[in-house]
A and B are shown apart, each in its own frame.
Chain A
Amino acid sequence: MANDWLMNPALLMMVAGLLAIRLPARLLGPLAVITPALGLLMLWQLPDGEHGVVSLYGFTLTTLRVDGLSFVWGVIFHIAAMLAGLYAWHVKDRMQQSAALIYAGAAIGAVLAGDLLTLFLYWELTAISSVLLIWASRTARAYTVGLRYLVIQVISGLLLMAGAIIHYRATGSLAFNHLGLGSPGGLLIFLAFGIKCAFPLLHNWLQDAYPEATVTGTVVLSAFTTKLAVYALARGYAGEEILITIGALMTAFPIFFAVIENDLRRVLSYSLNNQLGFMVVGVGLGTEMALNGAAAHAFAHILYKALLFMSMGAVLLRVGTVKASELGGLYKSMPWTTAFCIIGAMSISAFPLFSGFVTKSMILTAAAVEHQWLVWTVLLFASAGVLDHSGIKVPFFSFFYHDAGHRVKEAPWNMLLAMGITALLCIGIGIWPDPLYAILPFPVDYAPYTSYHVITQLQLLMFAALAFCVLLRNGWYPAEIPSTNLDFDWFYRRLLPAALRRLQSFVSALDRGFRSGAMKLLDVVLAKLAKSHGPGGVMSRNLSTGTMVSWLSAFLALYLFLSFYW
């Protein structure tokens, strides 16, 4: 078809985002829910294959590609946008409503992009639109954090562009298919994806920025950027073995930070990072089962992570803080939010009958089938860690434990409805995974509910829960205390600025030294000149005629004398 590039749900979302700038405030909520619903219908109508082929300055761009991989991401991105829209129904801030729609649209456009240039444009748009959700907090801190976030996201985009150009010059094609790590272009693009996917040491933008966004903004942020990166890795680097190592590291290291972190939205950000690790391992394994697992886990994860961020957002809205050290006993005031949070916690912990159980296990099984015993053990270890920070810590310290005395209203109806629907989806996927399995990229040959799987998983989780009881009752569980924990961002928030300040003061000292040295030299020269040329100086003395005549006679005498001998 000639003009089917207009049939792109991403464009619909972005047009709605622009509309939100002008629409009456009471229509913002409905717009944020109805638009993604229409977008989902559009996506469902599109036949598999490449659409929206546009020629631009001699490049052939495929703006719309529907296949097994992009479809499942497209579907969950629409669902996430709908739920986030409902959760933010009451928000009258145009900046947030508009940014959320454009951001979701850009993420949808990126997963549907069939070429690297289209991908790059949407990639950068996700960065620019999402930062507004952080700045919408309108605090000085959010402004600084947002700038840091934007710089890192834009660097990712520039790497993608540079990589795409090199790739194009080497292959003559901009098509976004398997890229591999064998070429310089492929390496740069890998790094670009790695930044957005929060690879270890490239991860801190996530824990830095997400907890600073608005109540509703964090829910939106949690869904798109990082899962877009997982999609891009699955498209371009499936089966690259280094991803298995990177992913395993990603599942493991954030759990330690999550245990000692006090801000519960930051705990969830570390937890998000850890969940991404499971997906990255799946992509790295690269088998059909592993890629199915990565896609299914991304789908389930977006829902339960959104649910957890929604529940903490409701707490933040009502209590004004999500610091574990200042919370406790909220189940009395917010019983529904408590219940939904627990459902999210059980889903992420992968209890049987909840969504994580039927998706995460596909990745672990795929690792076992590939005889990756070490990776499998790390993933199992990380699963116990997930139970701690997201399964127990987040609900326990906010809604139970010591009553901090907050007596607040339950969350608004739209937030409860959004949480309720998300919770239903989490349980629905857990009980009846077949519809999700049906839209995965490859045919699924996996049965999650075997007695072996159910019992072993329950053993793992319940004994970990038992460990929690033992540690807590003996006073060995680390207390929740207000603190900042150093992470890799220390290098660019502390060390680098300090080093630059040092360098600057060194350079300015050097500069001062040179200047004062030069000034001293100049002074000495001037003094010398003043001595010789100044009043009474040798060079400015008036010599008498007599002296001159005597010198002349002396020279003549010398001349005469010498002329006798030569």
Chain B
Amino acid sequence: MKSADEKAWLEQPATVNKIVYAVWGICALLVVAEFFYEKHPHFGFDGWFGFYAGFGFLAYCTIVLSAKALRRLLKRSEDYYGE
């Protein structure tokens, strides 16, 4: 039996680190893959080196950080409408 304060395998910092490194690794592989396939861009800009990778990263950050900023404007208490 594990003691109560011992964290489960998945929650241990070392495991979390491994998962994050794996994501970095997969991303690196996907950038390397850029050299090995034939592109069929529709417009031109979508054929730039690493376009989808950069777009995914930046779009994600834009969405999350601007939503966080939006909170200042939109956030109210949970019972704001009193229902």
Q: Which of A's residues lie within 8 Å of B, judged by CB? A: 140-141, 144-145, 255-257, 259-260, 329, 331-332, 365, 368-369, 371, 373, 376, 380-381, 384-385, 387-388, 400, 403, 450-452, 455-469, 471, 473, 476-478, 481-487, 493-494
Contacts and interface: CB of A to CB of B under 8 A. Distances in A.
Interface string B42-54: 1101100011111
A404 B57 CA distance: 30
Contacts of A380: 55, 59
A334 B73 CA distance: 36
- Dominant secondary structure at the A interface: helix
Contacts of B59: 380-381, 384-385, 464
A462 B67 contact: no
Contacts of B39: 452
16 contacts: A255-B63, A256-B66, A259-B64, A365-B42, A368-B42, A384-B60, A388-B60, A388-B63, A451-B38, A452-B37, A468-B60, A468-B64, A483-B76, A483-B77, A484-B80, A486-B75
A400 B10 CA distance: 9
A467 B83 contact: no
A457 B30 CA distance: 10
B80 to A, nearest CB: 4
A141 B38 CA distance: 56
B56 A461 contact: yes
Contact of A467 (B42, B43, B56, B78): B56
A144 B23 contact: no
Nearest to B39: A452
Given A462-B30, A464-B56, A483-B78, A259 B63 contact: yes
Contacts of A459: 27, 30-31, 50, 52-53, 56
Nearest to A262: B78
Contact of A385 (B24, B27, B34, B63): B63
Nearest to A401: B11
Query: Which of B42, B51, B59, B73 has the most CB atoms of chain A within a 10 A radius of its CB?
Result: B59
B74 A485 contact: yes
B75 A469 contact: no
Interface in B11-29: 11, 20, 23-24, 26-27
A466 B78 contact: no
Interface of B: 8, 10-11, 20, 23-24, 26-27, 30-31, 33-34, 37-40, 42-43, 45-46, 50-68, 70-71, 73-81, 83
Contacts of A452: 37-40
Contact of B52 (A329, A460, A466): A460
Contact of A463 (B54, B64, B71): B54
B23 A465 contact: yes
A253 to B, nearest CB: 11
Given A463-B27, A478-B71, A387 B81 contact: no
A348 B40 CA distance: 24
B67 to A, nearest CB: 4
B57 A467 contact: yes
B52 A456 contact: yes
Contacts of B43: 368, 371, 373, 376
B47 to A, nearest CB: 10
Contacts of A478: 64, 67-68, 71
Given A259-B67, A452-B40, A486-B73, 17 more contacts: A141-B83, A259-B68, A260-B67, A365-B42, A380-B55, A403-B8, A403-B11, A458-B30, A459-B52, A462-B23, A464-B57, A478-B68, A483-B75, A484-B76, A485-B74, A486-B75, A494-B81
B77 A484 contact: yes
Nearest to A370: B42
Contacts of B53: 459-460, 462-463
B52 A260 contact: no
Given A144-B83, A451-B37, A466-B23, A260 B74 contact: yes
B64 to A, nearest CB: 6
A169 B39 CA distance: 54
Contacts of B20: 469, 473
B70 A260 contact: yes
Nearest to B33: A455
Contacts of A473: 20
Nearest to B80: A484
A462 B56 CA distance: 8
Nearest to A460: B56
